[in-house]
Structure 1
């Protein structure tokens, strides 16, 4: 579908095929993501961590269905921001974009902080803030070279993560077969003595962080070789693959945790629960390997693609005159929104170094990322229903009504059982967005989206193309 229909010109190279987008999704979600937050999810779910990841996968697959519907109708780089603006109204689109900003702008911050903390545990002489600077500068350098460079590095990082994961699973399953750990059982999926949905959803509210990233593929719709069709298929494929890997690794690790009762009771303040399980499986070398892999996966691989996605969101909102115009400028030589990439890096450096000095920095960033994503997903589902009703109810009721309603119900349940800090920070951010919207409207700069140019010879309508915004 041509971007001219939406008032935009194609400026980004359509370099990415389904295999490249799937790799983006896998790297963004980080196939070894549970390594870094294993202890927190294990505690919150009462040890039923594998079940928490299964429920989380179901919620995300339902959400992917709605993304598939909307990206087919509006294959533009702004993802859910663009869907809400065009399906409902520019004002709703602005508020949705504001919520998404909370998610995407904070993701690179969170990734750098987690990676920095992991590296400091390996190299104590280098503080967390220094690692934050190293990771941000390195990723910015790679991204400004263009999408081709990022695409190649994606495959390299993905291969390395999969190798580490296979090593852990191989040693872990062998150790369990040899009688180490707690033996093979299904308690990580269901424990009848402690199961409650409240407990499981509490684990999902944290574990959901691992799945965030498949939705970023919608931000690359203008980079995709076959547009919406490629993005839609890559979303499903990356989700199914990563869900299977998450469940497998958390199930094995849960059976190898040295003292599960203590982990549930006391939590994992050092963030070492997974590495302790890896040490039971293969010894200290495997614990160090998994810790190093976590740092590099979060700090380099995931951070790199997070910066790509965030820059596309800033570009999309900028060219619609909802953010400063300089953010929408694309480098002709490299086909990269360089200003948006550099702005993302500057925010990550400034706020990241500050958060590195706070004891609750990672917790606060996690809360902001999760809440922003949940709000955006809920709006996405509502947009599917609204657009279906607005455009004459074309399409099946199941995919356009039943599935979105189910998605909203699941996400509201997850938010209800989320950390109180996440709820407070998210509501404050949304409140600020409402104030900004009121200010823009009062000053005559209310949100508006460009329209498609009028057909040749049509003098009755004057429409503005995106080139006037860039």
Structure 2
């Protein structure tokens, strides 16, 4: 489906095929993402970390189904922001876009913070804030060069992450076979003495951070070679692959943790729980290798694609007049939203440098990212049901009502069992967005989107995006 129907000009090159999009999704989710947050999820889930990741995968599969429905109807950049604005109302789209901005704007700076902390533990002479600057600048230069450069580096980083994961799993399984750790057990999947759903959902509320990224594929609808069909398939494939890898690595690591009871009771203040398990499996060199891999994967690979996704969301909201117009300008020579990329980098630098001085910086950013994403996903499910009712109940009940309803309920349960910090700061952010919306309405600047004509109506004149 051409985006001309929605009042836009096709200005981004359709370079990405399904294999590129799957790689993009895997890099964004980071196939070794549990390395960095293993201790927190292990503690929150009472040691049943593999089960937490299985439940998280189920929730995301339901969400991917709703993404598939909406991206087929509205194959334009903007993702949930655009879906809510067209399925429900442009004002609802603005608030949803505001909520998901909390997720996307915070992700690049969160990744830089985590990577900076990891590198500081290896090279202590370089402070965290300096690593933040290095990671932000490196990714900005790469993305300004164009989507082709990003695509090539995606494949390189994905290959490296997979190699390191295979090394860990190989040494980990051999160590368990040799009698190290707790030996082979299904306790990371289910422990009858401590299991409760609130415990598991608490673990999911943290572990869900690992899955964030598959949804960013919806923001690349105008970069995909075959549009909506390619995006939908890539979402399912990348989710299924990464879920299998997450469950495998967390199961093995959970059985190699030196002091499981102590980790559950005291938490992982240094963030080294996974690296400690890797050291049990293969020695100090494997612990260091997994720590370095975490820094590079979060700081460069994931950060790079996160910045791409954030810039597309800013571009989409800008060209609809809901953010400053300069953010919608696209480079004629490189076919990328240059100003949106630079704005994302500026926010990451300013807030990242501030958060680098705080002891709770990573915790605060993680809470914001998860809250914004979960709220946006709930709205996505509502959009599918709303669209189905609005269009005269066309389409199957299972995919258009049952799946989104169950998906929304699961996510609401995850939000409810999440951290108080996430709920508090997230609600404040949504309150600010509501105030801005009221101001827009009071001053006669109600959010709007280009009209979509019926099948027998001529398409609207494509809405041009400014070029630089």
Q: In which range does the TM-score fall when normalised by the shorter chain?
A: over 0.9
Structure 1 match to 2:170: 170
Find the aligned partners of 1:469 and 1:379 in 2 and give their Cα distance: 30
Structure 2 match to 1:406: 406
Structure 2 match to 1:243: 243
**Structure 2 contact 40–267 (Cα < 8 Å) conserved:** yes
Pairwise CA distance, 1:198: 0.7
Structure 2 match to 1:465: 462
Q: How high is the TM-score relative to the length of structure 2? A: 0.98
Find the aligned partners of 1:447 and 1:465 in 2 and give their Cα distance: 18
Find the aligned partners of 1:29 and 1:368 in 2 and give their Cα distance: 17
Is residue 367 of structure 2 the alignment partner of residue 370 of structure 1? no
Structure 1 segment 112-127 matched on structure 2, within 5 A = 112-127=112-127
Find the aligned partners of 1:391 and 1:319 in 2 and give their Cα distance: 27
**Structure 1 contact 320–469 (Cα < 8 Å) conserved:** no
Find the aligned partners of 1:141 and 1:163 in 2 and give their Cα distance: 26
Is residue 103 of structure 2 the alignment partner of residue 91 of structure 1? no
Structure 2 unmatched runs, 5+ = none
- Structure 2 vs 1, CA of residues 457 and 160 (structure 1 numbering), >3 Å: closer, same or farther? closer
**Structure 1 contact 8–452 (Cα < 8 Å) conserved:** no
Structure 2 match to 1:350: 350
**Structure 2 contact 329–466 (Cα < 8 Å) conserved:** no
Structure 1 match to 2:188: 188
Is residue 276 of structure 2 the alignment partner of residue 276 of structure 1? yes
Give a deviation string over 1:390-416, Cα, whole Å, max 9, x none: 011110000000000100110010001
Find the aligned partners of 2:466 and 2:222 in 1 and give their Cα distance: 17
Find the aligned partners of 2:232 and 2:444 in 1 and give their Cα distance: 37
Structure 1 segment 195-344 matched on structure 2, within 5 A = 195-344=195-344
Please give the secondary structure, in 2, of the residue aligned with 1:467: coil
| Alignment: residue pair count | 467
Give a deviation string over 1:86-127, Cα, whole Å, max 9, x none: 001000000000001000000001000000000000001111
Runs of 4+ with deviation above 4 angstroms: 452-458
Structure 2 match to 1:9: 9
**Structure 1 contact 450–464 (Cα < 8 Å) conserved:** no
Structure 1 unmatched runs, 5+ = none
Find the aligned partners of 1:138 and 1:63 in 2 and give their Cα distance: 32
Please give the secondary structure, in 2, of the residue aligned with 1:91: helix
Structure 1 match to 2:161: 161
Q: How high is the TM-score relative to the length of structure 1? A: 0.98
Find the aligned partners of 1:91 and 1:198 in 2 and give their Cα distance: 34
Give a deviation string over 1:368-402, Cα, whole Å, max 9, x none: 00000000000000000000000111100000000
Please give the secondary structure, in 1, of the residue aligned with 2:81: helix
**Structure 2 contact 329–465 (Cα < 8 Å) conserved:** no
Find the aligned partners of 1:92 and 1:258 in 2 and give their Cα distance: 49
Structure 2 match to 1:101: 101
Structure 1 match to 2:82: 82
Give the CA RMSD over aligned residues. Answer: 1.5
Pairwise CA distance, 1:450: 1.7
Find the aligned partners of 1:392 and 1:451 in 2 and give their Cα distance: 19
Structure 1 match to 2:130: 130
**Structure 1 contact 80–96 (Cα < 8 Å) conserved:** yes
- Structure 2 vs 1, CA of residues 11 and 181 (structure 1 numbering), >3 Å: closer, same or farther? same
- Structure 2 vs 1, CA of residues 444 and 297 (structure 1 numbering), >3 Å: closer, same or farther? same
**Structure 1 contact 452–465 (Cα < 8 Å) conserved:** no
**Structure 1 contact 15–224 (Cα < 8 Å) conserved:** yes
Structure 2 match to 1:23: 23
Please give the secondary structure, in 2, of the residue aligned with 1:181: coil
Please give the secondary structure, in 1, of the residue aligned with 2:306: helix
Give a deviation string over 1:210-242, Cα, whole Å, max 9, x none: 000000000000000000000000000000000
Pairwise CA distance, 1:132: 0.2
Structure 2 match to 1:69: 69
Please give the secondary structure, in 1, of the residue aligned with 2:464: helix
Find the aligned partners of 1:144 and 1:198 in 2 and give their Cα distance: 44
